[in-house]
Amino acid sequence: MTTAKVVLDQDYKIAPVDPKVFGSFVEPLGRCIYSGLYEPGHPKSDKNGFRTDVLEYTKALNLSINRFPGGNYTSTYRWEDSVGCKENRPRRVEIAWQSIEPNQFGINEFADWSKLNGSDIMMTVNLATRGVLEAMDCVEYCNFEKGSYWSDLRIAHGYREPHHFKYWCLTNEIDGRWQIGQTTGSVYGRLARETSKAIKLIDLDIKTVLAGSSAPTQPTFPSFDYEALDEAYDHIDYLSVHQYLSNIKGNTLDYLAKPMVTNQFLEDTVAVIDTVKAKHRSTKKVNISFDEFNTWHTLGSIGRFDHRWETAAPLLEDTYTQLDAVVLGMMFLAILRHCDRVKIACVSELCNCISHIRTRTGGGVWVYPPYYTWLLFSKYARGTSLLPVVKESPKFDSENFTDVPYLDIAAIVEDEGGLNIFAANRSLEEKLPLEIQLRGFENLKVAEHIVLESKNATDTNTEENPNNVKPHSRGNADIQDGKLNAILPKLSWNVIRLQSQKA
């Protein structure tokens, strides 16, 4: 394989990375919450029923924000079912996931869990089958201090202090034909605008997230987004977009190329937002909330309805591999290269369902290889993103993509001056030599070259063999005369950490 050549210049800064891009998504779906985050009676659960063994893994991710509760779940969500005395909470038919929702883990439980986890909550209101008033009630319950019906009820439920949730999603994926309450961009945009106005009048600190179309592959993208923004532009703060990459057809080269679509999708979304901005002569900058993204192989499978009307059924429990770790890693790189506009990002979801953290009910917890890409991203992508100039990279063609570079790369300058380089090698067979010319960086030395690699693309971890695929620090990156050279093993995800010689 020929050498990939890159320039990293201290002056080519994109933007500071918003801490809210280190987020996730928690939906009462399958075993995400029940027997995931929450399993009363489990030997590792605390007095609240929170699994402390799962918390160890979620805490390590240092998540800033978790979106809750959905998701498709939101379209028939009755938030008030999930508060108050647990014994009195109704069991409901939950149609999005064809389950019975026992409402034992609601808003206040998630607030308690989030405190332990050290993360904030981004709430979602149901505008699919409910309206402005119910959204206002929910905001009053969660954020109003005291002296009103809903705030006093929260206090009566044992929560004297308001939760002060700042970020509110105005429903979810409402252009999707699977969504109860599916509608058009204009109709939704009007309702979202009025809801946003109303809840911001209750709490002036609130920032709202308009739902965009549910995927770049939807026929409604980007017209739905345009129409909704056209109605609501000056009243909302973010546009929500979602994307899942899958290898359903087993076309692995295509799958490895797909993060290029993520790049294009983010650019198209910015174009739509800014078109509406120009049309409205607005001075406001609406940013992107990429609040659901991941890889997902059971996407669209009817197997998700095999457990009708159960609670905590094993829904959407994909097994993730080294291959998925590299693909997810490249989605992170797309976020870093667009961090001037992507200000919130949530890996979907946090536990069990399309997740990299897996539990056994009554048993152990383990993590799949993509957990480590996520962990390394969260640990080392804090700072200011740099625009890497890729001068040369060997390339390949797949069935549906041409000129796919084997190299994918992004870089971060830390506030303390360190430089962290994230690089993926898409090749399934060959190692990739990398040469980076460093401009404007003096006296840097390689502190660590972390590599996530494995013998086979399909390698993974199990409860019995949880450490089969784990990152190591035996990468060979080296700096000589302002040039960094490294070998990126086949199908690998790499973090090269450079620090000042003096450090």
27 vs 80, beta carbon nearer ligand AHR? 27
- What is the helix, strand, coil percentage profile of the chain, to 5? 30, 25, 45
How far apart are CB 395 and ligand AHR at their closest, in Å? 32
Beta strand pairing call for 444-452 and 207-211: unpaired
Q: Cβ closer to ligand AHR: 354 or 404?
A: 354
In the bound state with ligand AHR, the residue whose beta carbon lies nearer, of 108 and 214, is 214
Residue number with CB closer to ligand AHR (72 or 494): 72
- Quote the CA–CA distance of 450 and 486 in Å, as a whole number: 11
Other Cβ atoms less than 10 A from the Cβ of 464: the count is 8
Residue 212 in the binding site for ligand AHR (CB under 6 A) = no
Q: Which is nearer to ligand AHR, 72 or 420 (CB)?
A: 72
Query: Positive or negative CA dihedral for 93, 97, 99, 100?
Result: negative
Q: At closest approach, how far in Å is the CB of 71 from ligand AHR?
A: 3
Contact between 203 and ligand AHR per CB under 6 A: no
Burial of 249 (0-12, 13-18, 19+ CB in 10 A): exposed
Phi-psi region of 413 (alpha: psi -120 to 50; beta: other; left: phi over 0): beta
- Provide the strand spans (E) within 301-381: 342-348, 357-359, 365-367
**Cβ 384 to ligand AHR shortest distance, Å:** 31
Query: Looking at 80, 140, 173, 349, which residue is catalytic?
Result: 173
Q: In the numeric block, which tokens belong to residue 48? A: 């609240």
Q: What CA–CA distances, in Å, run from 343 to 18, 66, 447, 461? A: 5, 14, 29, 32
> Rounded to an integer, what is the distance from CA 162 to the centroid of its chain?
26
Q: Which stretch binds ligand AHR (CB under 6 A): 46-54, 67-75, 123-131, 358-366?
A: 67-75
Only segment of 52-60, 66-74, 302-310, 455-463 that touches ligand AHR (CB under 6 A): 66-74
Which 6-45 residues touch ligand AHR, going by CB under 6 A? 27
Rule CB under 6 A: say whether 292 interacts with ligand AHR: yes
Task: For residue 70, state whether it binds ligand AHR (rule: CB under 6 A).
Answer: yes
Tell me which residue has tokens 């532009």.
233
Minimum distance from CB of 214 to ligand AHR (Å)?
A: 6
Give, in order, the Cα–Cα distances in Å from 63 to each of 20, 374, 399: 8, 10, 37
Interface residue with ligand AHR among 24, 35, 64, 72 (CB under 6 A) is 72
Point out the catalytic residue in the list 27, 292, 349, 453. Answer: 292
Task: Give me the residue whose beta carbon is nearest to ligand AHR.
Answer: 71
Known catalytic residue at 87 = no
Residue 137 C-beta: closest distance to ligand AHR, Å = 23
Q: How far is the CB of 178 from ligand AHR (least distance, A)?
A: 7
- The token pair that represents 331 in the structure block: 């989605």
Place of tokens 């797309």: 334
CB nearer ligand AHR, residue 35 or residue 172? 172
Per-position x/- string for 123-152, each x denoting binding to ligand AHR as judged by CB under 6 A, each - no binding: ------------------------------
Annotated active-site residue 292? The verdict is: yes
Roughly what angle, to the nearest 10 degrees, separates helices 132-143 and 149-156? 50
Interface with ligand AHR, residue 173, by CB under 6 A: yes
CA 424 to CA 488: how far, in whole Å? 7
* DSSP assignment letter at 51: B
Shortest Å distance, C-beta 173 to ligand AHR: 5
Contact 197, 206 (CB under 8 A): no
Q: Which of residues 221-260 bind ligand AHR (CB under 6 A)?
A: none
The CB-of-303 to ligand AHR minimum distance in angstroms stands at 14
In the complex with ligand AHR, the residue whose CB is nearer, 72 or 117, is 72
Segment 294-353, which members bind ligand AHR (CB under 6 A)? 348-349
Distance (Å, whole) CA 462 – CA 53:
16
Q: Which of 58, 66, 82, 172 binds ligand AHR (CB under 6 A)?
A: 172
227 within 8 A of 189, measured Cβ to Cβ: yes
- Which active-site residues does the annotation give? 173, 292
Q: Which residues bind ligand AHR (CB under 6 A)?
A: 27, 70-72, 172-173, 214, 292, 348-349, 354
